[in-house]
Amino acid sequence: MVAFGKRLKERQIQEWQGYYINYKLMKKRVKQYVQQIEVGTQDRRHVLKDFSRMLDNQIEKIVLFLLEQQGILASRLAKLDEQHDSLQQQPDMSQISELREAYRAVGRDLLKLLFFVEINAIGLRKILKKFDKRFGYRFTNYYVKTRANHPYSQLQQVFKHVGIGAVVGAVSRNLHELQNRQGSYLSIYDQPALPLQDPVVDSIRAAVDRLTHSTNFLNFLAQHALIMQDELPTPIEEQVDDQKYHFISLLLNLANTFLYMVNTYIVVPTADDYSLSLGAAATVCGIVIGAMAVAQVFSSVYFSAWSNKSYFQPLVFSSIALLVGNTLYALAYDLNSIAVLLIGRLFCGLGSARAVNRRYISDCVPLKIRMQASAAFVSASALGMACGPALAGLLQTNFRIYKLTFNQDTLPGWVMAVAWLIYLIWLCISFKEPSHDFEENQLPQESNSVQNDALEEGLKQPLLVSSEDKQQEEDSEQECDESEEASEESRRPATSIRSAYRLLTPSVKVQLLIYFMLKYVMEILLSESSVITTYYFHWSTSTVAIFLASLGLTVLPVNIVVGNYISNMFEDRQILLASEIVVCIGILLSFHIINPYSVPQYVCSGLIVFVSAEVLEGVNLALLSRVMSSRLSRGTYNGGLLSTEAGTIARVIADGTITMAGYLGQSRLLNVTLLPSLFICISSIVATCLTYNSLY
């Protein structure tokens, strides 16, 4: 993070200023160590010992102050408990209200203490990372391992915060009991599924979640949205502008996401049959499916820029473009025109508002529910991906009304046109345009600056930094060391694709290559599935639809397993590399080498590729949200746009590959399209190994 020391000082609570980690002093000491070792006046062992002692002293200062503040809060709670006991004997509504506010005041002070702990933990992690970088030594591993479980270590006090948990429980329980629940004999322990609805407790819970660093399904799923936020926390009351939040508008935003994904995949089972009916080859389905992605390459940029000024207008335009595109797609059959079919799909791609969908969540959703909203965004996408092919499988009918034909080829277009018309009406009636009190190039003063999660870094990164260390942040810190005066300029968002590309470090480029690879592989699998299964197995449209829908339905269960279990057992770097290798194995198993090519081979290999690619996508985006430059977290040319463009270009190239390979004949289509998939996958594995070896 650029100018981290300066920003850390700005976020400090003034009356507690002397108790924070002295990041500036420690940074200067690291510089001195480097100079002393270079001139030979100090040896490495002495440096490690001296720096360890300094860290121990800093942590002890933090912990002793933390214990002191916990004691003060505990004393206040004890006095309030006495008042609470007396009120139970003689209830008085005015005194109950005052007591409730007193408990909330304790909660607000507890929230300050939680931010104190979080900021110090972030500063500690960053100074350890800076030391490792300057000395090329994995000091962090040594320091954390020797102190994490030692009985006299102060380090674990910062992260286990047992005393804080007790205060949180006391505040929550008493506020629950002081609610108007006359006649109820149930306590907070009897209703674990009904959390206390209190803004102070909600804020405390959100802060504790960041501190606990427990990777769970919701965290993991939300990170798929790639909505990045500021690393340094501020009090939640200052971060949230509740006037911007409108639940129905958020629901409309998610509905747009869902419908667009349905629109993308509803044509996949029938695209080859539609192409044949218009006199083209079945493999032209690659162009038909990919035309939407081609247009999305351009629409992502102008939608991202448009969202600087409005959310309502681009959503309206998106709906109209998709309404027109789907209508043209359906009319192409009666017009007997492959050109109209492709134009219709291009219009659909021009209506891709995913950049707006992401940015709306980043800008207009309160921080306390932003993770849930980000997870809902990913869930809506996954559900749409599964519903698209399933819906196509249900549209197996054939009739005419006047001169219009309604069959399995045209009905996807007609159904989606009606869906977008209904959505457009709902949008115009219910959407509330939030205030835009920001400009694209303004300096970020709050952490709710734009784009791509999602998810506060804070302590979601482990203190024991692993291979996903933020190379871009390290480079930025070095620039800060050389010139604090340039910090404000270096925090401005990128102003063009070219400037955004210059901000990409080797580790970020590898993450984008991996994203490109997995989107390419998945697009090959999905887009050519209808042609391949028809040629080898004579599957009907309904069977293809069931297969594709089944693949889509694996998305959420896979993320539950990875988010709740695998991510807690292994480092992200290990999961990343293992997933790439499994994708490669799945591709190898997909090749048609042994005759006959069987259904079990195709289905099993396809499932391996798809599931491992889903795991890879989740871990890759989680890493990408942490290694991406903070300058790419806002503005038009943000990290979300770059990742979207990488994935969209991969889909375009994959669909083009299918069409070009079709000229060699359907018998060679499978192997020819799998070869580039295998090459790109192996390249990404090599790049991953080289990049992370260099970081270590």
d(CA 467, CA 507): 10
User: Can you tell me the distance from the alpha carbon of 533 to that of 537, in angstroms, rounded to the nearest whole number?
Assistant: 5
Number of H helices, E strands in the chain: 30, 2
Query: How far is residue 77's CA from residue 81's CA, in Å, rounded to a whole number?
Result: 6
What distance in Å separates the CA atoms of residue 640 and residue 661, rounded to the nearest whole number? 31
Cα angle for residues 379, 381, 387 (degrees, 5° grid): 100
- CA atoms of 20 and 8, how far apart (whole Å): 9
**pLDDT for residue 435:** 72
Whether 692 and 580 have beta carbons less than 8 Å apart is answered as: no
| 304 half-sphere exposure, CB direction, 13 A CA radius | 29
Instruction: Give the model's pLDDT for residue 313.
Output: 93
Give the DSSP letter string of 572-635. HHHHHHHHHHHHHHHHHHHS--SSSPPHHHHHHHHHHHHHHHHHHHHHHHHHHHHHS-GGGGSS
Q: Give the containing element (helix H, strand E) for 655.
A: helix 639-661
Contact 618, 224 (CB under 8 A): yes
- Residues 302-329 have pLDDT tens digits of 888 888 888 999 999 999 999 999 999 9
**Cα–Cα distance for residue pair 314/495, rounded to 1 Å:** 21
Instruction: Find where tokens 């887009």 sit.
Output: 527
- pLDDT (tens digit per residue) in 82-94: 887 777 767 677 7
- Report whether pLDDT(259) > 90: yes
DSSP 8-state code for residue 34: H
> Tokens 């994935």 correspond to what residue?
647
CB 217 within 8 A of CB 450: no
pLDDT band at 7 (very low <50, low <70, confident <90, very high): low
Peptide bond into 596 cis (omega under 30): yes
Average pLDDT of the segment spanning 459-486: 43
Instruction: Decide: helix, strand or coil at residue 403.
Output: coil
Closest of 321, 326, 340 to residue 411, by C-alpha: 326
Q: What is the pLDDT of residue 536?
A: 93
Task: Give the three-class secondary structure for 70.
Answer: helix
Judge whether 643 and 620 are in contact, CB under 8 Å. no
Angle between helix axes 312-335 and 285-306 (nearest 10 degrees) is 160
CA distance 562 to 131: 32
Question: Which domains are delineated in the chain?
Answer: 3-181+198-227 (1.20.58), 244-432+501-691 (1.20.1250.20)
> HSE on the CB side for 162, CA within 13 Å?
4
The predicted pLDDT at position 95 comes to 75
Residue type, 67: L
Q: What is the pLDDT of residue 194?
A: 43
Partner residues linked to 406 by β-bridges: 399
What 3-state class would DSSP assign to 658? helix
Name the band, by pLDDT with cuts 50, 70 and 90, for residue 162: low
Do the Cβ atoms of 512 and 643 come closer than 8 Å?
A: yes
**How large is the average pLDDT for residues 233-237?**
50
Question: DSSP assignment, residue 566?
Answer: I
Q: How far is CA 299 from CA 296, 314, 354, in A?
A: 5, 10, 10
Look over the chain and give the mean of its residue pLDDT values, rounded to a whole number. Answer: 78
pLDDT of residue 455: 28
- Could you tell me which residues are beta bridge partners of residue 400? 405
- pTM of this structure: 0.67
For 362-400, b where at least 16 C-beta lie within 10 A, e where not — what string? bbbbbbbbbbebbbbbbbbbbbbbbbbbbbbbebeeeee
Q: Write down the pLDDT at residue 487.
A: 45
